[in-house]
Structure 1
Amino acid sequence: MSTGRRRSAGGMGPDIVVEVAWLYYQDGLNQKEIADRLGLSRATVVNHLQEARAQGLIRITLTSPAFVQHGLARALCDRFGLRAAYVVPDEGLDVEERFRRVVTGGALWLPMLLAPGDRLGVAWGRTIHDLAEALEPHSIPGMTVLQLVGSMATPYGFTSETCSTLLAQQLGARCVNLHAPAILSRPALAAELRNEPIIRAQLDQLLTVNKLLFSTGTALPDSHIVLSGLATPGDLERNIAKGAAGVICGRFVNAEGQPIPDDMEERMIGIPLGHLVGLEMGILVTPGHDKVAPSIAAIRGGYVSHLVTGASVAEAMLVA
């Protein structure tokens, strides 16, 4: 590669984008050095680097030790008896930026927690959906992803089975979706549907999960469980009166992570919460301060062995 060569004024073809990206990320040259070497303006170099990222030519991976050995990660493990925690910096970020950073951290860490033959049960919601979108494609032999709660629409424009399907695609895994509504109007109708052979076979497969990926929901009026139509405002008010502190896989739980008895459980189609306690691994993704209390409840209830969160949320959990 000659020094000081000039590029044409256009210089925007795919070859120059790749060359600039290689010099910056692989050879370690700074933007001025690249501009001088290729005879470009520094602004053009910046544009080429942005184009390389936009085209997916660049994959930046941060190694997990920096995050699992973070002081706050160790403190969370000590305080709550977790096996590991992954804490990303989030100081000074707004709510949406904090959410995006934690979800990206979860997507980077998840493949390291999975093994051939795993049967990963997944909940639904924006956190899991966006984590699946952020996940780089992998191929884990014999992997199965299972949808833990029946189908419903969400306020974000996707259905619950989209989460499990997308995650399975990214992991090169087999997908087992639950082809039934998440909740029905009457307990008798739900019991009848659960006994249908196809649904029964799918429900039986859910009982074989060995790892869980989820995010807790809140017991607030704007909770995902209400916005999705799974629970009515009356259901929410009734369960709050019974001590609801959060939501796990569509079920209200109290501050100790124990399911709250309610006829909602009798009307739901999905895995009973008791089967998600004490699994080989429970991976909880907590992107916001509104989920501090529900996340602590999930940990107390025995659903969590691994936690992904931001530094400010970790600090809030430690003093709660």
Structure 2
Amino acid sequence: MAAKDRRTAEALRVAKMYYQQDRSQSEISKELSISRPTVSRLLRYALDTGLVRIEIGDPGETAEQMADELLQRYSLRHVIVVPTRNIAPADRLDTVGHAAANYIESIVRDDDIIGIGWGRTVHSVGEHLAPKDVRGVTVVQIKGSASNTEHNNYGFESANAFANAFHTLPQYLPLPVIFEQEQTKALVERETYIRHIADMGRRANIAVFTVGTVRDSAMLFRLGYLTQREQSHLQATAVGDVVSRFVDIDGRVVDEDINRRTIGIELADLKATPHSILVVASTAKVPATRAAVVAGYANTLVIDEDSAQDLLSFEN
């Protein structure tokens, strides 16, 4: 056997023991009756000649690649894909909330108006916000937050968390997000305080929100705003909601009657917000997320890794 072939055979034997059998260099040295430096040189030879190839699966690199793809595909201004594949499912929302909070802290300046939605996702973002030394910041709810049931929508808690972080008082919109009658909603909107809050929401330069699904477990369905007939209709025509306005896969409102009874920022105003930040931590929200980014309601996306992959693979 030629010297090179013999060296290759020795390197393969050592490499298999080291990489496949998890044997230490000392163990290999003793078993094969060769010195430890010889073992080390054979392992180096295996690497240099391509007998062994080492690949490093950096989750951060994968996330960055997906972020770049989403940025280009949906013409977004900024995308953060949060590596979550090694995170327990129960901790995914917390991890995404933390990442979104870090981004928001980085962009908030004096005299900003921050409009926020509600729900567990927005609340998680607020819980991770660190106090920032800014002045004149306003935090305002951009959709009605009162519930018709005992289910918690985290509207009050979210507003307080954001306001505490930026040293201000929250501006609540203490109304049901969807009224039973359009006339009642129109009457309430004439009130001076409500007009003031709605105008403030329209003037927000930062909006933080999530999307909802049309599953039976969707929060808007559990909060008692809609009849069973309306729910069934929405489940047949919509993919989810954006700031409580139900849309199809392309972001078009599916029911104008319900939309006229909905109180909060209009989708056109949300689209015009300089920093319109959509936060997603569930693959169930991918269809509604797709609708929001295709229609341009969000220009910034903070999303978990699995949902980002599903969004890139999404087809109508």
TM-score, length basis structure 2: 0.74
Q: Secondary structure at the match of 1:304?
A: coil
2:172 corresponds in structure 1 to: 177
Letter of the structure 1 residue corresponding to residue 91 of structure 2: E
Deviation of the 1:69 alpha carbon: 8.0
Count of equivalent residues: 254
Distance 1:137 1:155, change over 3 A: farther
Aligned to 1:85: 79
Gaps in structure 2 of 5+ consecutive residues: 1-59
Shift of 1:94: 4.0
Per-residue deviation, residues 46-93 of structure 1 (Å, max 9, x unmatched)? xxxxxxxxxxxxxxxxxxxx7898222112111211122112211144
Q: 2: distance between equivalents of 1:228 and 1:312?
A: 28
Cα distance in structure 2, aligned partners of 1:95 and 1:218: 19
Q: How has the CA–CA distance of structure 1 residues 155 and 86 changed in structure 2, closer, same or farther, with 3 Å as cutoff?
A: farther
Match of 1:12 in 2: none
Conserved 8 A contact 1:121-1:213: yes
| 1:295 and 2:289 are equivalent in the alignment | yes
Give the unaligned 5+ runs of structure 1: 1-65
Partner of residue 204, structure 2: 209
Letter paired with 2:201: L
What is the distance in 2 between the residues matched to 1:68 and 1:307? 16
Q: Does 1:280 align with 2:264?
A: no
Distance 1:297 1:99 in 2: 21
Offset at residue 106 of structure 1 (A)? 1.1
Aligned Cα RMSD in Å?
Answer: 2.2
Hey, what's the Cα distance between the residues in 2 that align with 1:89 and 1:278?
A: 29
Aligned twin of 1:11? none
Question: Of the candidates 174, 184, 190, which is equivalent to residue 195 of structure 1?
Answer: 190
- The reply to whether residue 230 of structure 1 matches residue 225 of structure 2 is yes
Deviations 1:273-298 (A, max 9, x none): 22111321111111011011111100
For the residues of structure 2 that align with 1:258 and 1:116, how far apart are their CA atoms?
Answer: 35
CA contact (8 A) 2:63 2:305 kept: no
- How much has 1:171 moved relative to structure 2? 1.9
Q: For residues 235 and 217 of structure 1, do their structure 2 counterparts lie closer, same or farther at Cα, with a shift above 3 Å needed?
A: same
What CA distance in whole angstroms lies between the structure 2 residues aligned with 1:213 and 1:77?
18
Following superposition, the deviation at residue 189 of structure 1 comes to: 1.3
Q: Computing the radius of gyration over CA atoms, which structure comes out larger, 1 or 2?
A: 2
Structure 2 counterpart of 1:316, from 307, 310, 314 = 310
Distance 1:184 1:67 in 2: 46
| CA distance in 1: counterparts of 2:176 and 2:150, whole angstroms | 16
Deviation at 1:239, TM superposition (A): 2.1
Is structure 2 residue 240 aligned with structure 1 residue 246?
A: yes
Residues 234 and 123 (structure 1), Cα distance of their counterparts in 2 relative to 1, 3 Å cut? same
Distance 1:298 1:192 in 2: 30
Output the CA distance in 1 between the equivalents of 2:62 and 2:171: 31
- 243-252 or 88-97: bigger deviation: 88-97
- Percent identity of equivalent pairs: 28
Which amino acid in structure 2 is aligned with residue 100 of structure 1?
A: D
Shift of 1:309: 1.3
